[in-house]
Amino acid sequence: MTTPLAPVLLDVAGLSVSFATDRGRVTAVDDVSFSVRSGEILAIVGESGSGKTVTLMSILGLNDPRTTFVDGSVTFRGRPILGLPDRDLRRIRGKDIALISQDPMTALTPVHTIGWQIAEQIRAHEAISRAGAARRAVELLAEVGLANPAEAAGRYPHQLSGGMRQRAVIAMALSCNPALLVADEPTTALDVTVQAQVLDLLMKLRKDFGSAIILITHDMGVVAEVADRVNVMYAGRIIERGTTERLFADPWHPYTWGLIASIPPLDGPRPHRLAAIPGMPPTPETMPAGCGFAPRCRFALPRCAARPPVQRAPGRSALCVIGPEDRAPRRAEILGPLGDAA
Amino acid sequence: MILALAQRLAQMIFVMFGISALVFLIFFATPGADPAARIAGRNAAPETVEAIRKDFGFDRPLPVQYARMMQRLFVTQDLTSFVNRGLKVVPQVISAAPVTLSLVFGAAVLWVVGGIAVGVLAALTRDSFIDKGLMVLALIGVSMPVFWFGEVMNLLSQSRFHDTWLFSWVPGLGYKPLTTDPAGWFKTLVIPWFTLAALYIGIYGRVLRANLVEAYQEDFIRTARAKGLGPARVMFRHALRTSLIPFVTMFGLDFGVLVGGAALLTEVVFGLNGVGRLTYQALLNLDLPMILATVMYASFFVVVANALVDLVYVLLDPRVREE
């Protein structure tokens, strides 16, 4: 879908984020680098607490500056934006980079109508009359597939269903034609059928508006369906990355194996129970010095106590000691043999 | 809408009926206390007691007594004090009410504006020196007893510094009616307003700050900021609007109670002959008709204030409208 020639829209390099807490400074994101090209969908996958949301909030400058320390560089359209004063960031936020929140139940202000909230965003970035902004809001609501957009615009969030609210949130994010949409688990809080509709909508919008999308999720099924490229995050680091196709055909990192094994199969016999990864992700306080996944990894070696080496191939990489020669047999223990694994 | 209003009005009348019946029963139907004998005073001749009993209908069944009392309170308005014979109760309350209303209204404006200012400023500068300083000030405001603070203000403005430019404008204690002397009305009330409002600015500022800090954790604030809105807009259009409900609830209760007589200490300290003072004196003398009148007056304002609070809820929060 994406041509490799599309220009880099957002480039994140060496991003580290840590928080000041009562127990001292804890690192939530550790040396994360990735880039997004125009029009592509990049999925960032990981469990809760893996640092996905923190990464995005840092890009948008939405973390509390009094307790958050951000390091590294973020470049948007060739312009460094990390650490810009809030006044300058506000011009980018909502206009060039728009956020779609996780939970549509709480993402809209309860005391204003949907149309008012969309118009508010348009008017924050464009010189347009109140009535003009209100008309645009109705058009956007129609664009995201609300059946009766004019009526929906006059409704309050609590009067809409979850799926309708998420569409309203998406309409709001689209209101200024952003080059980049940041979707923070946009389907997690929704029913399965509505999830599929919202994903379809995102795909359609990418096609119609040409926006790039960073899709944060913990659902490998969603990733397989919509993403062009995948970053797998664990304990604040990107531990594996690659195109969706290659990553699913030939996953390298044991954590990715676990994630793929936990996708419920669509056909064939239903397993007795879905595979799970034993244990819990480390909290920032209990973060091991070396590989963050080692305590839960059945293939862990003494070497894993040190920072893991980067395994590379063109267009992809993983942070793991397991080299290409040892990969297939170990993976087969978790996933069974994968057809044309390289 | 009209139906809802009518319903609300009926509810208010029912509540006031309940209060009046309760007060009547407590004061006039308590076993062992003969109201006629109390009205007649000590060492009264038996025939005087008997005449009073007939006059007030105390020899009739309770519902008749109640009806007669209410008739004299609201219709003929000729209910007289037990203690000061011949002194009519209703005109007393009517002349005291403007004093209390002036005091409480002015203080309410100050404490709403002040409370919002303190809460918003503290929440915007959370954990900074401004925030901490404001919260300490608010705590001081909450902790200062009004009779002490009022006396200190009197000491400063009436005697110690009365001759300096700072307080030379302050007139003597007492109330000047708004209709005849607006400037005097304002001057006599400024210091009582601030004194009464200090406590409430403290309470309201602290409560609002806590609610705002909580609101800033909400997703919709993150959404608002991600939309590219400025901090002032995020605060006033999104955070403050959703944080005002507890503020309004408290205001309804406090305002009703204060107008109903709870501003007694402030009234006494500043020599204002308001409803609080009237009630207090009636209680000292067990002046039952006066107590009945002031309680009815107080309950009226509490009920009205709560009805207004419900109305403001509807304006503030669309989620309330559907019910």
The pLDDT tens digits of the residues spanning A228-260 come to: 999 999 988 999 999 999 999 889 999 998 888
Instruction: Answer whether A60 sits within 8 Å of B238, measured CB to CB.
Output: no
The rounded mean pLDDT for chain B is: 87
Tell me: do B154 and B253 sit in the same domain.
yes
Determine the residue of chain A that is closest to B315 in CA distance. A111
pLDDT of A160-186, one tens digit each?
A: 988 899 889 999 998 998 999 999 888
Q: Provide the CA A121 distance to its chain's centre, in angstroms.
A: 22
Q: Is A98 on the interface with B (CB under 8 A)?
A: yes
Angle at B38 between CA B32 and CA B42, to 5 degrees: 115
Q: Grade residue A157 by pLDDT with cuts at 50, 70 and 90.
A: very high
B85 assigned to some structural domain: no
Q: Is A95 on the interface with B (CB under 8 A)?
A: yes
B89 assigned to some structural domain: no
A60: chain B residues, CB-CB within 8 Å: 226
- Dist. CA B269–CA B265, nearest whole Å: 6
Tell me: do B71 and B105 sit in the same domain.
no
Tell me: do B232 and B273 sit in the same domain.
yes
Can you give the residue range of the structural domain that contains B38? 2-76
Give me the residue label for tokens 């204003």. Answer: A112
Tell me: do B23 and B159 sit in the same domain.
no
Instruction: Indicate whether B299 pLDDT > 70.
Output: yes
Q: What per-residue confidence (pLDDT) applies to A130? A: 94
A111 vs B222, B225, B317: nearest CB: B317
For residue A17, the cross-strand partners are A29, A70
B226 vs A62, A102, A158: nearest CB: A62
Look at chain A and count its residues.
342
Among A194, A189, A248, residue whose Cα is nearest residue A221: A248
Tell me: do B142 and B207 sit in the same domain.
yes
Instruction: Answer whether B228 sits within 8 Å of A111, measured CB to CB.
Output: no
Q: Grade residue A11 by pLDDT with cuts at 50, 70 and 90.
A: very high
Instruction: Answer whether A111 sits within 8 Å of B229, measured CB to CB.
Output: no
Start-end of H helices in A99-161: 114-125, 130-143, 149-153
Determine the residue of chain A that is closest to B322 in CA distance. A159
Picking from A22, A58, A96, A111 by the largest number of B CB atoms within 10 A of its own CB, the best residue to mutate is A111
Q: What per-residue confidence (pLDDT) applies to A95? A: 93
Q: Is A23 on the interface with B (CB under 8 A)?
A: no
B88 assigned to some structural domain: no
A102: chain B residues, CB-CB within 8 Å: 219
- Dist. CA B115–CA B123, nearest whole Å: 12
DSSP class of residue A296? G
pLDDT of B214-241, one tens digit each?
A: 999 999 999 999 999 999 999 999 999 9
Cβ neighbors of A78 (< 8 A, separation 6 or more) are none
The proportion of chain A whose per-residue pLDDT surpasses 70, expressed as a percent, equals 94
A/B interface, count of CB pairs below 8 Å: 80
Residue B247, number of CB atoms within 10 A of its CB? 20
Cα distance from A235 to chain B (closest Cα, Å)? Answer: 23
B239 assigned to some structural domain: yes
Q: What per-residue confidence (pLDDT) applies to A271? A: 66
Tell me: do B113 and B7 sit in the same domain.
no
B91 assigned to some structural domain: no
Residue predicted with more confidence, B287 or A246 = A246
Q: What per-residue confidence (pLDDT) applies to B41? A: 65
B220 vs A60, A98, A107: nearest CB: A107
Q: What per-residue confidence (pLDDT) applies to A338? A: 65
Q: Grade residue A342 by pLDDT with cuts at 50, 70 and 90.
A: very low
Q: Is A11 on the interface with B (CB under 8 A)?
A: no
Give me the residue label for tokens 């009234």. Answer: B267
Instruction: Indicate whether A4 pLDDT > 60.
Output: no
Residues of B with CB under 8 A from a CB of A: 127, 218-220, 222-231, 233, 237-238, 241-242, 316-319
Q: Grade residue B176 by pLDDT with cuts at 50, 70 and 90.
A: confident
Picking from B227, B312, B314, B322 by the largest number of A CB atoms within 10 A of its own CB, the best residue to mutate is B227
B238: chain A residues, CB-CB within 8 Å: 109, 112
Cα distance from B319 to chain A (closest Cα, Å)? Answer: 7
Total domain count for chain B?
A: 2
B250: which 2 tokens?
């408290």
Determine the residue of chain B that is closest to A103 in CA distance. B219
What is the average per-residue pLDDT within B173-180? Answer: 85
pLDDT of B22-76, one tens digit each?
A: 888 887 777 777 777 776 666 777 887 888 788 777 778 888 888 888 888 888 8
- Dist. CA B266–CA B103, nearest whole Å: 9
B90 assigned to some structural domain: no
The proportion of chain B whose per-residue pLDDT surpasses 90, expressed as a percent, equals 33
The rounded mean pLDDT for chain A is: 87
Tell me: do B163 and B28 sit in the same domain.
no
B319 vs A60, A110, A169: nearest CB: A110
Q: Grade residue B81 by pLDDT with cuts at 50, 70 and 90.
A: confident
CATH code of the domain in which B156 resides = 1.10.3720.10
Tell me: do B50 and B196 sit in the same domain.
no
> Residues B279, B72: contact at Cβ < 8 Å?
no
Which of B20, B45, B76 marks a domain boundary? B76
Q: Grade residue A129 by pLDDT with cuts at 50, 70 and 90.
A: very high
Picking from B129, B220, B240 by the largest number of A CB atoms within 10 A of its own CB, the best residue to mutate is B220
What is the average per-residue pLDDT within B192-209? Answer: 94
ipTM reported for the complex, 2 dp? 0.86
Tell me: do B68 and B103 sit in the same domain.
no
Instruction: Answer whether B237 sits within 8 Å of A120, measured CB to CB.
Output: yes
Instruction: Answer whether B318 sits within 8 Å of A93, measured CB to CB.
Output: no
This prediction has a pTM of 0.83
